[in-house]
Structure 1
Amino acid sequence: MHLRARPQRWNPLRAQHRAIWQAIREHQPQVAALAASEHIDFVRQGIEDKALDEARRSSALRRLGELPDQLA
């Protein structure tokens, strides 16, 4: 549900899943493996980007004095 609200993330994920499914359906294991690998890289990068954004946000809030110490 969270990703569907973010088309810039949801649309590529949906296309990646479709590519993996299609390659499996067509009995193309090398194509499926490559598509799965690219999908994993995409998801990993998204997780890393999200963590970096959260770290930057927390740092900015600390500088502004808006983040409780226990969350800093």
Structure 2
Amino acid sequence: MLFRIDGEGIVEPVPTNKLAELGLRERDDLQEWVIEEPRILGEELLIVTSEYAGFENTLDRLDVLAIDRAGRSSSSN
């Protein structure tokens, strides 16, 4: 949940919408935003790959694979 704080210190919630309500799609929009600007996730990340499906014995797929400054992996699927 996001909140807006005005110049007088008044806190109010920012209305939320589903991606579909805004005419956006996870793969075409949200995923591409993360790839183009990974810091929107809240930390400095290096994108390693996207749409990775090279796992053995599974059909799982990672949408985005990234590592942080310490070299720890972070993935989204």
Q: Which has the larger radius of gyration?
A: 1
Same fold, judged at TM 0.5 (above) = no
TM-score range, shorter chain: under 0.3
Relative to total residues, which structure has the larger strand share, 1 or 2?
A: 2
Relative to total residues, which structure has the larger helix share, 1 or 2?
A: 1
TM-score scaled by structure 2? 0.21
